[in-house]
Structures are given as structure tokens and as C-alpha cells.
Amino acid sequence: MLPSDIKCVKDKTFRAVKFSWVGNFSEVTCNVVPWFAVEEAGSCFRGYRLYRVGYKIDNVFHTTYEACFNKDLLHTAYVKHDLQLKTNVTQPGRRPQFREGELFGKVKMSKAYSNQSNRIKEVFGDKKLEEYVNNKQFLSRGHLAPRADFPLYSVQRTSFHYVNSAPQWMRGNAGDWAALEEAVRRRALRSEAKLEVYTGGVGVLALPDVSSTYKELYLGVDENNNGIIPVPLYMFKTIYEPSTKSAVVFLSINSSHFNSTMTDKLTFCNDICDSKQYSWLRWRSSDGTHSFCCTYEEFIKKYNVMPKLNVERVFY
């Protein structure tokens, strides 16, 4: 039985005409776990292609999110998904494993993450390993479009594709970034309007090696010894409300190893999060990371990595 075979009769009562069945929606189960699909959808900008991720049913592709991805660099510039929540309840289910599909070629992403200690030693020297990687601080698979933004478990599963991830330090992932994701969902529940959310990583993080020389960090190298799977300098999330033509960009510096002098230098815009209009957002800055907010115009002036949006005002 396919989802398209089942039709709603009233309230929780459904009918499958083909199978002469009428019953409660809770009685509908799957024999096997459905697999989601990835479909190329054109270009987004130079060197990057746009991919749709979702389910193909009766030759119709139902998109969960779109990803702008570079197959050579193995980098996702941004993931775009729509957010229009009616409830903060999500369907429970076992956390799936991330999968590569065909986009990552011969590169095993799970191995790249599990091998990060060796990679840290290669780039920065043995003595830097304990400083950069330990039980509480390591590079995690940071979701771009968050699992919890999708109420249905079958849709949540689509978020566990490596194209929807970036190497993100765990303290930031569980700290400021988690606080931002939760705040955006609360803000979406307050609004009946659809929000477009663009999330990605920009720049390449550079940290000092044993001789205090700053070096960029990639999780791997290609056959020509060029860096692949860059560790972003910033994680960003753009919220755009088309109905009001309003937008804002939230950024988090992807490191807890910088002092205040460095984070001030890296805060490249006037931090509008200090405004009382953002009382719905509370950063968890005790994790050692630093986060801030930019107008859409300031962000794209520094990092023009998104589709052009028709923005006339700031989103609050």
C-alpha cells in the first residue's frame, strides 16, 4: 500500500479503496522503512549544483529541502527549507545514521569524522590534539536543516544526509546553535506566515599549530592533496519571510578557541541581536563560542552565497 492509496474520510478515519479498508490513521504502518531520494535540480552558483532531497512518489518528487553543493570540495554552501509549524510536537523514532548517497563519490564521510584526531595531528602537530579534540570538544556532524524542524519521522529521516551537514564543534552545536534552532521554531509557531530558512557554513576555520602559525582545517584531502570537507569559520542561518519581505542572518563563529579580541575582529557587522526585538532568542554563550546577527545586506556583502532575496526590512 502506498501513501497515495490512502484517502482521508473524516477526522482520523481513512480509506484505502483498492484494499477495501477503512480505519483509524494510527493503524497505518509500513512494512519497510522508506528510503529518500536525491535529485539534481540545476546550478546555484559557480562550481556548485542544486540538489533536491525528499521522496519520489508516483513519479512526483516531494522536496524536503534543497542543497547547494560542490562535489569537488565536498562542501554545502547552503540548505534551504520551508518552516511553517502548527505544533511543537514531533513524531518520535530512532535516530538514523547519516548517509552519503552518491554525491560524495569514493569518500567515506563517517571515516573522515572518525579520523579527525589523526587529521588534527597532521595539520597542527601532536601537542595540539588534546587542546582541540577531547571528550567534550570534537567535530560533530552539524545538521543544517534541523531534524526537529520536520514533525513527521519519515521527513526527519531525510535530514540525515551528509549534504545536510557541516563539521561543527560540539560545544557550539549543543550550545548557541541549539539555542538558535529552538528559538527559530518558537518564533515560527507565533507566525502563520511561511518562513524560508537558509543554513550553511562559510569561510574556512584557521587555528594555530604548535609553532603558532595559523592553518586552515579540512577534514580530508583529495588525490592532489588539496583540502576537502572544509571546517567552516562561520555557521549561518538566514530567516526570510516572503510575505513581509523581511530577513535576518544569525551567525556563530565555529570555534571556542578564540579570545574576545579575535571574536570582536571576526564580528563583521553591527550586531543587531542586542535589540529588544530579539528577546525571543537567548544565546548559550557559556560554551566559549560567540554568535551575532547581521542584516541580510551586510551578510551578502561579505559572503554572497545565497539566492538573491527580495528584502525590504529586518525580520524580528
Which string of DSSP letters, residue by residue, matches the chain?
Answer: --GGGEEEEETTEEEEGGGTEEEEGGG---SSPPPPEEEEEEEEETTEEEEEEEEEETTEEEEEEEEEEETTTTEEEEEEEEE--S-S-----PPPPPB-TTTTTT--HHHHHHTHHHHHHHHH-GGGHHHH-SSS--EEEEESS-GGG--SHHHHHHT-BGGGEEEEEHHHHHTHHHHHHHHHHHHHHH--S-EEEEEEEES--EEE-TTS-EEE-EEEE-TTS-EEEE--SEEEEEEEETTTTEEEEEEEES-S---HHHHHHH--S--GGGSGGGTT----GGGS--EEEE-HHHHHHH---S------EE--
58-80, pLDDT tens digit by residue?
899 999 999 999 999 999 999 99
CA–CA dist 315, 294 (Å, integer): 11
Rounded to the nearest integer, the mean pLDDT of the chain is 93
In this structure, what C-alpha cell is assigned to residue 170? 560540539
Residue 30, pLDDT above cutoff 90: no
Separation of alpha carbons 84 and 149, rounded Å:
9
For 205-257, what is each residue's pLDDT tens digit? 999 999 999 999 999 999 999 999 999 999 999 999 999 999 999 999 999 99
Q: What are phi and psi of 178, to 5 degrees?
A: -65, -40
3 has pLDDT over 60? no
**Is the pLDDT assigned to residue 6 strictly greater than 80?**
no
Question: 0.95 cut: is pTM over it?
Answer: no
Lowest-pLDDT range of 28-32, 101-105, 259-263, 303-307: 28-32
264 pLDDT more than 50: yes
Answer yes or no: are the C-beta atoms of 237 and 198 closer than 8 Å: yes
Q: Is the pLDDT of residue 146 over 50?
A: yes
pLDDT given at position 287: 66
- What confidence category does residue 1 fall into, taking pLDDT thresholds of 50, 70 and 90? very low
**Separation CA 2–CA 259 (nearest Å):** 55
The proportion of the chain whose per-residue pLDDT surpasses 90, expressed as a percent, equals 82
